[in-house]
Chain A
Amino acid sequence: MSAEETAAAAPARPENPALAFVRRFVAGDLGELRVIVGLIVIWAIFQIQEDRFLSSTNLTNLVLQITAIGLVSVGVVLVLLLGEIDLSVGAVSGLCAAIMAVLTVKEGWSPYVAIAAAILAGTAIGLFQGFVFTRFGVPSFVVTLAGLLAWQGAHLEVLGSTGTINVTDSVITGLTSTFYEGATGWVIALVAFGAYAAGVLLGRRQRVKAGLPVRNIGSVVLRLGGAGVIAATAVLTDDRGVPLALLILVGFVAFFQYVTTRTRFGRHIFAVGGNAEAARRAGIPVTRVRVVVFAIASSMAAIGGIMAASRLLAVNQSSGGGDFLLLAIAGPVIAGTSLFGGRGSVLTALLGALVIGSISNGMDLLALESSVKFMVTGAVLLAAVVIDAIARRERQAEGRV
Chain B
Amino acid sequence: MTDQTPVLELRGASKAFGPVQALRGVDFRVHRGEVVGLVGDNGAGKSTLVKAIAGIHTLDEGEILWEGRPVSITHPNDAVELGIATVYQDLALCDNLDVVENLFLGREQRAGGIGTITRHLDETWMEKRTHELLEHFAVTIVNVRSEVGTLSGGQRQQVAIARSLLGEPKVVLLDEPTAALGVRQTAQVLELIKRLREEGHGVVVISHNLENVFEVADRIFVLRLGQVAGDFPADEATIDQVVAAITGAAARGENGDRAGGER
Seen from chain A, the residues whose Cβ lies within 8 Å of a Cβ on chain B are: 1-2, 5-6, 9, 203, 206-207, 210-212, 258-259, 262-265, 267, 270-271, 273-275, 277-279, 281-284, 341-343, 395, 398-401
Q: Which of chain B's residues 41-62 have a Cβ closer than 8 Å to chain A? A: none
Let me know if B105 and A271 touch, CB within 8 A: yes
Closest chain B residue to A83 by CB distance?
Answer: B96
A-B contacts, 7 of them at CB < 8 A, read A210-B125, A264-B119, A267-B121, A271-B101, A275-B94, A284-B105, A342-B94
Interface status of B140 (Cβ within 8 A of chain A):
yes
Question: In the bound complex, how far is the Cα of B45 from the Cα of A36, in angstroms?
Answer: 57
Let me know if B121 and A207 touch, CB within 8 A: no
A211 proximity list for chain B (CB < 8 A): 128
Contact of A278 among B92, B121, B124 (CB under 8 A): B92
Let me know if A1 and B155 touch, CB within 8 A: yes
From known contacts A278-B105, A279-B105, infer whether A210 and B94 are also in contact, taking CB-CB under 8 Å: no
Interface status of B133 (Cβ within 8 A of chain A):
no
Let me know if B108 and A212 touch, CB within 8 A: no
B149 proximity list for chain A (CB < 8 A): 395, 399-401
B181 proximity list for chain A (CB < 8 A): none
Question: In the bound complex, how far is the Cα of B107 from the Cα of A262, in angstroms?
Answer: 14
Contact of A271 among B94, B107, B131 (CB under 8 A): B94
From known contacts A263-B117, A263-B119, A279-B94, infer whether A399 and B127 are also in contact, taking CB-CB under 8 Å: no
Question: In the bound complex, how far is the Cα of B97 from the Cα of A278, in angstroms?
Answer: 11
Q: Which of chain B's residues 100-159 have a Cβ closer than 8 Å to chain A? A: 101, 105-108, 110, 116-117, 119-121, 123-125, 127-128, 131, 140-142, 147, 149-150, 152, 155
Distance in angstroms from B207 CB to nearest chain A CB is: 22
Q: Which 4 A-B pairs have the closest CB atoms?
A: A282-B106, A400-B149, A274-B96, A342-B96
Contact with A along B170-196 (1 / 0, CB 8 A): 000000000000001000000000000
Contact with A along B230-252 (1 / 0, CB 8 A): 00000000000000000000000
Contact of B150 among A273, A279, A284, A400 (CB under 8 A): A400
Interface centre among B101, B140, B141, B149 (most CB of A within 10 A): B149
Distance in angstroms from B24 CB to nearest chain A CB is: 30
Interface status of B199 (Cβ within 8 A of chain A):
no
Contact of A343 among B96, B106, B141, B142 (CB under 8 A): B96
Question: In the bound complex, how far is the Cα of B130 from the Cα of A393, in angstroms?
Answer: 30
Closest chain A residue to B143 by CB distance?
Answer: A213
B95 proximity list for chain A (CB < 8 A): 274-275, 342, 400-401
Let me know if B152 and A267 touch, CB within 8 A: no
Let me know if A275 and B150 touch, CB within 8 A: no
Distance in angstroms from A393 CB to nearest chain B CB is: 13
B142 proximity list for chain A (CB < 8 A): 1, 6
Distance in angstroms from A400 CB to nearest chain B CB is: 4
Let me know if A262 and B121 touch, CB within 8 A: yes
A5 proximity list for chain B (CB < 8 A): 152, 184
Q: Which of chain B's residues 16-75 have a Cβ closer than 8 Å to chain A? A: none
Question: In the bound complex, how far is the Cα of B151 from the Cα of A399, in angstroms?
Answer: 8
Question: In the bound complex, how far is the Cα of B155 from the Cα of A401, in angstroms?
Answer: 15
A263-B117, A283-B106 known, 6 other contacts, Cβ within 8 Å: A210-B128, A262-B121, A267-B101, A282-B92, A284-B106, A343-B96
Interface centre among A2, A259, A267, A270 (most CB of B within 10 A): A267
A9 proximity list for chain B (CB < 8 A): 152
Seen from chain B, the residues whose Cβ lies within 8 Å of a Cβ on chain A are: 92-97, 101, 105-108, 110, 116-117, 119-121, 123-125, 127-128, 131, 140-142, 147, 149-150, 152, 155, 184
Question: In the bound complex, how far is the Cα of B123 from the Cα of A262, in angstroms?
Answer: 8
Contact of B121 among A2, A264, A343, A400 (CB under 8 A): A264
Distance in angstroms from A256 CB to nearest chain B CB is: 11
A399 proximity list for chain B (CB < 8 A): 149-150
Let me know if A281 and B121 touch, CB within 8 A: no
Closest chain A residue to B141 by CB distance?
Answer: A1
Question: In the bound complex, how far is the Cα of B187 from the Cα of A2, in angstroms?
Answer: 14
Question: In the bound complex, how far is the Cα of B107 from the Cα of A362, in angstroms?
Answer: 48
Closest chain B residue to A396 by CB distance?
Answer: B149
A401 proximity list for chain B (CB < 8 A): 95, 149
Question: In the bound complex, how far is the Cα of B150 from the Cα of A398, in angstroms?
Answer: 7
A6 proximity list for chain B (CB < 8 A): 142
B93 proximity list for chain A (CB < 8 A): 275, 278
B110 proximity list for chain A (CB < 8 A): 264
Let me know if B140 and A270 touch, CB within 8 A: no
Question: In the bound complex, how far is the Cα of B93 from the Cα of A398, in angstroms?
Answer: 17
Distance in angstroms from B161 CB to nearest chain A CB is: 15
Distance in angstroms from A84 CB to nearest chain B CB is: 15
Closest chain B residue to A344 by CB distance?
Answer: B96
B96 proximity list for chain A (CB < 8 A): 270, 273-275, 341-343
